Structure 1
Amino acid sequence: MHLAVPFALLRLGWRSRKNPAYRQRIAERFAFFPALDQHPRLCLHAVSVGEVIAAKPLISAILTHYPDYRLLVTTTTPTGSTTLKRLFANKVEHVYFPYDLPTVITRFLQRSQPRVVIIMETEIWPNFYRHCAKKNIPLILANARLSARSFQRYEALQPFTQHILQTIDTVAARDQQDVERFLQLGMNENNVQKTGNIKYDLQIPKTQITQGFAYRQAWGNRPIWLAASTHAGEDEILLTTHQQLLNDFPDLLLILVPRHPERSSTIATLIRTQGLNFTQRSLWQNPQTAVSNETSVVLADSLGEMFIWLKTADIAFIGGSLIERGGHNPLEAAALAKPIISGPFVFNFTDVFHTLMQANAAVLVDNPKALCKHVHQWLSNPSTAQLIGQNGQQVIEQHHNATQNIISLLQQTIAKLK
């Protein structure tokens, strides 16, 4: 197992080319951090930005229900770490999640001493899970999901998968399909419950809504569309689409929000190549005057401001979907009543998009031509676009209880420890 360490370090070095933060706090990934105090402690793992944001209502609920406990939140990525600190500051403890090596896991558990471990979604770490089981530390998979692709991969390793799953005390699955897939992989039916999707339990920051409204007022009554959480390979398509839309909507503004802000210099070059007038969020000195009537693109290369951009926009495109990335969470857009459009690759959020499309709140398109067509239609018929957005907002209101269901499972788990 320790032969993997050089490769892990090489991977950190490779990723640090774009994000230097990967070169920092490396010791934490080997569980070298000061031993934590002796207060009772819960541990929650959220791998990156999306999981941290999704876990926000659950983290808040844990802090409310268990004020005598410390809450240690681990992440894998620096952006996840930054988002966690922005959202919760010193209200939670934080270190990076350890590498899945036996000696590292042993050291992590000795130094953190969690009473219960909660893993957001479906991160499978065999050594970590086995060590928790040996130490009688209950393990809960919260908001657990298995996409068709993941299910097929785990099913191909059935004996190994079943052995690992049997170390999990409780699977809090998002929907009945996830329940069935966990059962098919060998989970005991008494240990799997449908709790709903915590991503519907959004906490909308009022300060961002106020800021977004102020931007919209300052920018005038021009049409605005948002491209949220874009990846390499999508920006070119979106910028070309924007150019085409400008022929009929010359004052149209595109807010382009890359999933990874460290790509901003590359994207800025693409925008210049297209000959578009743009402004870059990270360089703003006075936000109220940063966008002029001549500005065609806002390159929103910042973290944690998505609700600001959603508030300003009339239409939301959700990225990671024009390439085989699997899409990103569309529910923030739905919560603010924005009509949603996405590419065909949404396998990470199949159930969410299915629900939204059934409610006529979202559209999937197969190619750039269809993307341009639908955005054009919504820009031409703003009343129709508003009705579609309102449908999405109603979906959010109908699915708002997963956090409390997971808290109930946590309460049952902790009660068994006493």
Structure 2
Amino acid sequence: MAKPAPMTLARALFSALAWAAQPLLRRKLRRRAVVEPGYAEAMPERFGHYQPPTLGQDGRGQWVWIHAVSLGEARAAGILVNALREQLPEMRLLLTQSTATGRAEGQKLLRVGDVQVWLPWDTLSATSRFIEQFRPAVGVLMETEIWPNLIAACANAGIPLALANARLNAKSEAGALKMKPISRPTYGALAAVWAQTEDDARRLRNVGAQVNAVLGNLKFDVQPDAVQMARAAQWRAALPKPVLLFASSREGEEVLFIDALKALGDKAEAVQWLIVPRHPQRFDEVAQLLSEKGFAVSRRSQWQELPPVSDGAIWLGDSLGEMTLYYGLSSAALMGGSFAPLGGQNLIEALACGCPVLVGPHTFNFSQASEEAVQAGAALRVANMSSALSEALALVADPEHLTAARQNGKQMMQRNRGAAAATARAVIDLMNAPK
């Protein structure tokens, strides 16, 4: 159990800045809501103002609270929630998010009696109202979320709060060390920290966390959606060309992709290209960019029963919640975020769907999983976008190599399973520990 967290000068300064920034946050939310209407939902909750519980929804003292800030964390939270429900069938879930995509994904996890709200902005008053309203039995922050006032409020209220599936890259470690007066007591106020890897554990300890265990990565326990995988298999059988996917592309990377595609000339026509931007607010932007560069665009939102078979058109995956479909449909995937210095995206879901991956030089956010996949022969590291497209075409043209890469990915997934059950046990033990 974490010790009470006294108010320090650093946290007092942080609290003052957080309070002063509230008008800026409101303006930012209104602007984001223009593109993503989900940001306009229940805005008072962002500042700790929640509706009184309806009949049957007052779970004070019972909630298992999980915070999953955005889409990736919400998917990992889903794996943990399923494991918790197996070990704790009567669990009542309190789910919080910070982004519209995370909130939409999180809605899939809710059952009767569960509640989903926005995590409050980290002011003293908002976090106090959150704790008073819900009073969870235990709290779990997913992966990287650290909020000084929220963590201190839980410690002072005797609510055990853990950081699960925890990761910390070298860049974030350096940033935390620069902010020692605020980061060290914040990490130290957590009741438990369960790291993904030994490297994560070492860096977390270095910034002040008491790491209880290294339990692995929850995402290795993912089970691809069977309906989407079946649809993907049906579509693949009907297509005249294999599909190559640029998954979770980030701003600036699409231009690199387009330039490399043009440089290939006629060779690019051997496959069907599919691009799925990481952030939904960029769907229209990427479609416009492709059009301006002279490419026909076929958008997933406009497809009927089957993808259209059209010469030269690039498919744009402008839908939410269908990455399993896109990975299942594709022979291989280029992993976005790794071709610009952004740290890459998680490649585990692709491997779970039997889709080998090509990664660029920048994978520091998921370094261990990326390196293991490369060493296992489930992924291929390339120097730049041009090499990625050339190597992807070569892989698709070599059925033996492609089959081996898929099998290597499945074996890697199997070797790393087990984090979900172990983390669920740790959450339950923390909840039941003497106060």
Q: Name the TM-score, length of structure 2 as normaliser.
A: 0.90
Among 26, 42, 46, the residue aligned to 1:25: 42
The CA deviation string for residues 278-328 of structure 1, in whole angstroms up to 9 with x for no partner, is 3111123x232x412425311110011011111111111111122222111
After superposition, where does 1:1-400 map in structure 2 within 5 Å? 1=16, 2-36=19-53, 37-39=57-59, 40-88=62-110, 92-188=114-210, 191-220=211-240, 222-245=241-264, 247-284=266-303, 286-288=304-306, 290-294=307-311, 296-400=313-417
Secondary structure (helix, strand or coil) at the match of 2:355 reads: coil
Structure 1 runs of 4+ with >6 Å offset:
none
CA separation of 1:56/1:152 partners in 2, compared to 1, >3 Å: closer, same or farther? same
Amino acid at match of 1:195: L
The answer to whether the 8 A contact 1:42-1:116 is kept is yes
Distance 1:118 1:198 in 2: 13
CA separation of 1:273/1:4 partners in 2, compared to 1, >3 Å: closer, same or farther? closer
The CA deviation string for residues 112-145 of structure 1, in whole angstroms up to 9 with x for no partner, is 1201010000211000000000100001110011
C-alpha deviation, 1:61, in angstroms? 1.6
Distance 1:258 1:92 in 2: 31
The answer to whether the 8 A contact 1:227-1:316 is kept is yes
CA separation of 1:217/1:122 partners in 2, compared to 1, >3 Å: closer, same or farther? same
The answer to whether the 8 A contact 2:269-2:312 is kept is no
Distance 2:392 2:408 in 1: 17
Distance 2:43 2:58 in 1: 25
Aligned residues with identical type, % of pairs: 30
Distance 2:417 2:266 in 1: 41
The CA deviation string for residues 328-376 of structure 1, in whole angstroms up to 9 with x for no partner, is 1101111122221122221111111011112122122232222232123
Structure 2 unaligned segments of length 5 or more: list them. 1-15
C-alpha deviation, 1:244, in angstroms? 4.1
The answer to whether the 8 A contact 1:251-1:296 is kept is no
Secondary structure (helix, strand or coil) at the match of 1:228 reads: strand
Distance 2:393 2:382 in 1: 13
The answer to whether the 8 A contact 1:340-1:389 is kept is no
Secondary structure (helix, strand or coil) at the match of 1:410 reads: helix
Structure 1 unaligned segments of length 5 or more: list them. none
C-alpha deviation, 1:260, in angstroms? 1.5
Distance 1:78 1:360 in 2: 36
C-alpha deviation, 1:231, in angstroms? 1.4
Distance 1:401 1:246 in 2: 45
The CA deviation string for residues 384-409 of structure 1, in whole angstroms up to 9 with x for no partner, is 12212221221111000111111121
The answer to whether the 8 A contact 1:173-1:179 is kept is yes
Amino acid at match of 2:282: R
Amino acid at match of 1:261: P
Secondary structure (helix, strand or coil) at the match of 2:35 reads: coil
C-alpha deviation, 1:91, in angstroms? 7.0
Deviates more, 1:70-79 or 1:34-43: 34-43
Secondary structure (helix, strand or coil) at the match of 1:118 reads: strand
- Equivalenced residue count is 413
**1:401 corresponds to:** 418
Secondary structure (helix, strand or coil) at the match of 1:341 reads: strand
